């Protein structure tokens, strides 16, 4: 569900769309050059590891799959969705994951043999029957899988290849080399969301749900003064380890001001006095109105458990939203730079800016406003009282 703050300012939105469109056209050539230079750099960086691995011989009776990851937590969780759907087709496949930093999210997958640095795919690419590569296209259009089926030695591989070729004819715009801006416009026009594209380009049409490798235990939250019976609401004032921290080099453009959070939490406490307010995340300042501050104090499993037993999670478009989605906790999400129609989950209350939005297709959009404003007008235009009233109108009976 998408809720726009007040009537759209059509003139500002038109100016914003034109500006972003022009920047995207300029960036396409630039990104191609960047991608080529990075490919050369990655090639030489991965050479030692690739040469060592390429000498190993695979068992010819087994199917080998490489998964090359890219992006943040939300991206990787969606990529894992596609990967799990592939394993349903090839349940006994041997899998190598290229993306060591994401090892935590795959501890429940028994098929995984090795975790490599994502640059190490190199010469090893041809050794796999299937390669799901989200990294090589990430500089141009994030979320698109560069799928390669290198072998047709079994009937299952032949069938998978045929199904993939059929998907390409049904969704041709998903497989074109295009900047994020133009790609997203076509995807939204065709009623496709980010999580659909991640799977479609991996040859999967079955849109499964995010799976988290977490054993949820009540003792994980008892230590923080919470329980299953305790009524509480969680929120995050940050973006991974790039939280709202004073004197930092830059604040991410899709963070909401601390004073706005304080005003919102005061209003929530007035409307729902029986609920505790719990702040979660990796890094950020403590919002004073929060009853419990868990910023930087939880493990990943504990964070998932805290959000799972929460009655509601409030956030900007950040990783905790994807955790909430996976554990069936409803969210209120504030969207400014990112496109709610493309990346937002339909089960959530997605509040979008009415003056300027959807610039996250531009390089380094998260460091500074692409239109040059000191304070991004998208997030600034979303006011606390509107968010509070939206929560009251839509969620009073469910929290």
Confidence check: pLDDT of 251 > 70: no
Which residues, in sequence order, are CB contacts of 237 under 8 Å at separation 6+?
A: 243, 244, 255, 256, 258, 261, 279, 281, 284, 285, 287
Residues 154-182: pLDDT tens digits?
999 999 999 999 988 988 877 765 666 67
Going from N- to C-terminal start, the domains of the chain cover: 2-18+214-395, 57-200
Mean pLDDT of the chain: 80
What is the DSSP track for 192-261?
Answer: --HHHHHHHTTT--S-----------THHHHTTT--SSS-EEEEE-SSTT----TT-S---TTPPPHHHH
Residue written as tokens 């849109």? 207
What are the tokens at 277?
Answer: 């307010």
pLDDT tens track for 339-384: 888 889 988 999 998 877 777 766 677 777 777 777 788 888 899 9
Give dist(CA 265, CA 259) in Å, integer: 10
Mean pLDDT, rounded, for 37-45: 51
2-18+214-395 belongs to which CATH class? alpha beta
pLDDT at 274: 93
2-18+214-395 and 57-200 share one fold: yes
Percent of the chain with pLDDT over 90: 32
* 71 neighbors 142 (Cβ within 8 angstroms): yes
Per-residue pLDDT at 184 = 78
Beta strands in the chain (DSSP E): 2-4, 64-68, 94-98, 112-116, 130-133, 146-149, 232-236, 276-280, 292-293, 312-316, 331-335, 349-352
Angle between helix 10-54 and 180-189 (nearest 10): 110
In this prediction, residue 108 carries a pLDDT of 86
What separation in angstroms does the CA of 12 have from each of 181, 213, 219?
18, 43, 50
Q: Read off the pTM.
A: 0.82
What is the predicted pLDDT for the residue at 387?
94
CATH topology assigned to domain 57-200: Rossmann fold (3.40.50)
pLDDT over 70, % of the chain: 76
Model pLDDT, residue 1: 67
- The pLDDT tens digits for 116-153 are 888 778 768 888 999 999 987 655 556 788 899 999 99
217 and 179 Cβ atoms separated by less than 8 Å: no
Query: Which residues on neighbouring strands pair with residue 178, listed in sequence order?
Result: none
Of the candidates 151, 131, 120, 139, which has an alpha carbon nearest to the alpha carbon of residue 201? 131
* Distances in whole angstroms, Cα of residue 290 to Cα of each of 21, 74, 245: 40, 25, 17
């Amino acid at each position: 569900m998408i809720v726009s703050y007040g009537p759209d300012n059509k003139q500002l939105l038109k100016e914003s769309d034109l500006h972003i469109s022009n920047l995207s056209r300029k960036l396409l050539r630039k990104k191609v050059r960047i991608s080529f230079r990075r490919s050369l750099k990655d090639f030489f960086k991965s050479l030692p590891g690739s040469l060592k691995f390429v000498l190993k011989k695979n068992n010819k009776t087994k199917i080998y799959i490489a998964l090359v990851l890219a992006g943040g937590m939300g991206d990787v969780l969606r990529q894992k969705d596609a990967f799990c759907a592939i394993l349903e087709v090839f349940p006994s496949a041997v899998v190598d994951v290229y993306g060591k930093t994401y090892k935590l999210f795959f501890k429940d997958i028994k098929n995984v043999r090795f975790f490599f640095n994502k640059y190490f795919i190199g010469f090893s690419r041809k050794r796999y029957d299937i390669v799901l590569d989200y990294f090589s296209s990430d500089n141009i259009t994030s979320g698109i899988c560069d799928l390669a089926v290198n072998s047709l030695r079994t009937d299952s591989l032949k069938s998978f290849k045929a199904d993939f070729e059929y998907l390409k004819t049904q969704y041709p715009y998903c497989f074109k080399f295009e900047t994020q801006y133009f790609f997203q416009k076509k995807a939204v026009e065709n009623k496709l969301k980010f999580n659909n594209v991640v799977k479609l380009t991996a040859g999967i049409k079955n849109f499964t749900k995010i799976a988290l490798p977490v054993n949820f235990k009540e003792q994980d939250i008892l230590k923080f003064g919470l329980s299953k019976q305790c009524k509480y609401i969680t929120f995050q004032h940050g973006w991974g380890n790039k939280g709202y921290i004073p004197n930092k080099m830059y604040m991410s453009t899709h963070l909401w001001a601390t004073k706005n959070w304080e005003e919102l939490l005061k209003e929530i406490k007035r409307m729902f006095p029986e609920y505790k307010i719990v702040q979660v995340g990796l890094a950020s300042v403590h919002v004073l109105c929060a009853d419990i501050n868990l910023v930087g104090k939880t493990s990943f499993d504990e964070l998932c458990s805290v959000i799972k037993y929460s009655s509601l999670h409030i956030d900007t478009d950040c990783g905790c939203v994807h955790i909430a989605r996976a554990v069936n906790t409803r969210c209120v999400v504030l969207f400014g730079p990112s496109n709610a129609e493309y990346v937002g989950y339909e089960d959530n209350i997605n509040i979008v800016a009415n003056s300027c939005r959807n610039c996250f297709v531009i390089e380094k959009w998260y460091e500074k406003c692409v239109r040059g404003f000191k304070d991004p007008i998208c997030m600034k235009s979303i006011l606390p009282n509107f968010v509070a009233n939206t929560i009251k109108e839509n969620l009073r009976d469910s929290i």
